[in-house]
Amino acid sequence: MSIELQSQAAPAVELPRLNRSLRPSAKAPVRIVHLGLGAFHRSHQAWYTHQAGDAADWGIASFTGRRPDAALALAEQDGLYTVVERADSGDSFAVVSSIVEAVDGADMQRLAALVAAPATAVISLTITEAAYRLGTDGHLDSTAPDVAADLALLASGSGSPTTPLGRLVLALAARRAAVAGPLAVVCCDNLSNNGTVAHNAVVGLAGAWDADLAGWIDANVSFVSTSVDRITPRTTDADVAAVQAACGYRDTSPVVAEPFSNWVLSGDFPAGRPRWEDAGAVFVADIEPYENRKLWLLNGAHSLLAYAGQLRGHTTVAQALADPLCLRAVESFWDEAEANLSGADLQIPAYRAALLARFSNARIAHHLAQIAMDGSTKLRMRAVPVLRAERAAGRSGAAAALMIAAWMDYSAAAAAFHDPLAEEAAAANRLSGTERIRALLGLVDPALAGDAAVVGLLEGLCGTFGELAVAP
């Protein structure tokens, strides 16, 4: 006779889901509409709003970009989620309650209703650099297929736009129709002069549809420029499990960030704003020095490490920085960038030292593949200005050029090359020698591609980090 043994393991206890019943907190009225409900919005703008002294008056309705998933998951938690501050020494956990509505970005009706509501004072954006669809001249590329499709939809008066810019323009048209008054658009994407970029993109798209609307936006919408900083990698399953183990509830939307955070803003808020300064935000008249310091030193080093590091077989920022060849490249780029940074109180040596410590935080697994995406757009802000400034000063700009050369090698080697100009880069990579370099450089900066000396410099630098096939 055989005896069948049955597992006597106790059934797993289902932990309660994080929501406003488990963690009672009143919902603030919606006064901020956000486009781009991603990881960074949750670790930064929503976190600052949660900590403002007047947080009870400032709720955020946050819309996703491409898919509804993040909104569905957050809506099940009444907008609550956990911010995990991950330091070298350990994790700390805090529940953030400023997001009071999480909405699928395709819900144009809800977006228009909220933007048209007189109570709405701020529209913030984290839609990624590439979503502004800037041409190499810094203006909206209205021939980009998705932009052209949205323009056709707007002109026909039927159907819903699919780009965040198209959706925002249609929502602003609803605000004009509702006579709801002026407000501020606060761009929080890593772009230089991001308020002006957002202005050019929004007014450019609106003007191609309805010149009167473009005039209304110019007269009624203040485009605030910002420098935003808090390293926030994509959340992993292990992060979700860590929150569950430490907090005793289920949260499917936690976000992990470094302890450091910084927010510098410049511009008007005609309908008011939260007291973000309570959480450390700084309001300045001239943002450019702060913006360049961050975009060149932090983001520039990130892009350099992303391409050089992956070519050298590394996966994360901390791993790449531990490679002496990559570290030397970063230090040389910083020397060039520093020579072109000016502004009182920038404290560059301390800033550089702090960056080395932040990048070396091995508990933050910041994946190089994520940083590497959309390089053709990012290099225009992270490498090109330093290269141009160095050459204008009579120097070679070799360290900034090395970042572009590493991107070129990566564009040829990567198994998955994510870029708005991926097809054009693939075509350029079918060329060889100088022609290939010129064609690739033309995707980043056509004027530089016409400079034979720069093309020669890049050609000599390609191959510095090897050309091995990289993991996607």
Ligand X SMILES: O=P(O)(O)OC[C@@H](O)[C@@H](O)[C@H](O)[C@H](O)CO
Ligand Y SMILES: NC(=O)c1ccc[n+]([C@@H]2O[C@H](COP(=O)([O-])OP(=O)(O)OC[C@H]3O[C@@H](n4cnc5c(N)ncnc54)[C@H](O)[C@@H]3O)[C@@H](O)[C@H]2O)c1
Helix (H, G, I), strand (E, B) or coil at 108: helix
Binding mask 171-190 for ligand X (x = CB under 6 A): -------------------x
Report the residue from 78, 85, 104, 129 that binds ligand Y according to the rule CB under 6 A: 129
Q: What is the DSSP string of 326-375?
A: HHHHHHHHHHHHHHT---TT--HHHHHHHHHHHHT-TTS--BHHHHHTTH
Minimum CB separation from ligand X for residue 462, in Å? 23
Beta-carbon contacts of residue 290 (< 8 Å; ≥ 6 apart): 227, 264, 284, 343, 346
Minimum distance between the CB of residue 64 and ligand Y, rounded to whole angstroms? 5
Residue 78 binds ligand X (CB under 6 A): no
Binding mask 30-69 for ligand Y (x = CB under 6 A): ------xxxxxx----------------------xxx---
Q: Got the DSSP string for 368-405?
A: HHHHHTTHHHHHHHHTHHHHHHHHHTTS--HHHHHHHH
CA 404 – CA 64 distance, rounded (Å)? 32
Q: Does 128 bind ligand Y (CB under 6 A)?
A: yes
Q: Residue 207 Cβ, how far from ligand Y at the closest point, in Å? A: 20
Candidates 201, 213, 231, 369; binder of ligand X (CB under 6 A) is: 231
To ligand Y, the closest distance from the beta carbon of 278 in angstroms equals: 21
Q: Which residue in 137, 157, 133 sits closest to 205, CA to CA?
A: 133
Q: Select from 229, 251, 291, 445 the one that contacts ligand X (CB under 6 A).
A: 229
359 touches ligand Y by CB under 6 A: no
With contacts defined by CB under 6 A, how many residues of the chain interact with ligand X? 9
Q: Which is nearer to ligand X, 277 or 374 (CB)?
A: 374
Closest among 336, 344, 295, 319 to 129, alpha carbons compared: 295
Residue type, 58: W
| 191 lies in the binding site for ligand X (CB under 6 A) | no
Phi–psi pair at 270, nearest 5 degrees:
-65, -20
Type and span of the H or E element at 255: strand 255-257
- Structure tokens belonging to residue 395: 């120097």
Site for ligand X in 357-376 (CB under 6 A): 371
- Under the binding rule (CB under 6 A), the answer on residue 43 touching ligand X is no
Among 85, 104, 129, 390, binds ligand X (CB under 6 A): 129
**Residue 25 is a binding residue for ligand Y (CB under 6 A):** no
User: Which range touches ligand X (CB under 6 A), out of 45-53, 64-72, 216-224, 227-235?
Assistant: 227-235
What is the bridge-based pairing of β-strands 221-229 and 255-257? unpaired
Q: Is residue 10 classed exposed, middle or buried when 0-12, 13-18 and 19+ CB atoms within 10 A define those classes?
A: exposed
Distance CA 322, CA 418 (A): 26
Among the candidate windows 9-17, 229-237, 394-402, 436-444, which touches ligand X by CB under 6 A? 229-237
Instruction: Examine residue 150 and tell whether it contacts ligand Y (CB under 6 A).
Output: no
Q: Please tell me the distance from the alpha carbon of residue 141 to that of residue 148, in angstroms, as a whole number.
A: 9
Binding mask 187-226 for ligand Y (x = CB under 6 A): --xx------------------------------------
> Is residue 442 close enough to count as binding ligand Y by CB under 6 A?
no
Binding to ligand Y in span 152-171, by CB under 6 A: 164
**Residue number, 395 or 418, with CB nearest to ligand X:** 418
Binding-residue total with ligand Y (CB under 6 A)? 22
Q: Could you give the CA distance from residue 453 to residue 439 in angstroms, rounded to a whole number?
A: 15
Which is nearer to ligand X, 59 or 195 (by Cβ)?
A: 195
Residue 174 or 228: the one with the smaller Cβ distance to ligand X is: 228
- Select from ligand X, ligand Y, none the partner in contact with residue 358, using the beta carbon and a kind-dependent cut-off of 5 to 8 Å: none
Position of minimal CB gap to ligand X: 302
In the bound state with ligand Y, the residue whose beta carbon lies nearer, of 25 and 292, is: 292
Q: How far apart are CA 272 and CA 109, in angstroms?
A: 25
**What are the tokens at 357?**
């410590």
299 binds ligand X (CB under 6 A): yes
CB of 276 to ligand Y, least distance (A): 15
126 binding ligand X? (CB under 6 A): no
Q: Which is nearer to ligand Y, 216 or 290 (CB)?
A: 290
Q: What is the rounded distance in angstroms from the CA atom of residue 373 to the CA atom of residue 172?
A: 30
Is 448 in a helix, a strand, or coil? helix
CB of 340 to ligand X, least distance (A): 19
Q: Go through 312-343 and write b for each residue having 16 or more CB atoms within 10 A of its CB, e for each that does not.
A: bebbbbbbbbebeebbebbeebbebbbebbee
CA dist 435 and 150 (Å) reads 35
From residue 375, give the alpha-carbon distance in Å to each of 357, 371, 462, 471.
25, 8, 16, 17
- Which residues are at the interface with ligand X (CB under 6 A)? 129, 190, 229-231, 298-299, 302, 371
Binding site for ligand Y (CB under 6 A): 36-41, 64-66, 126-131, 164, 189-190, 228, 230-232
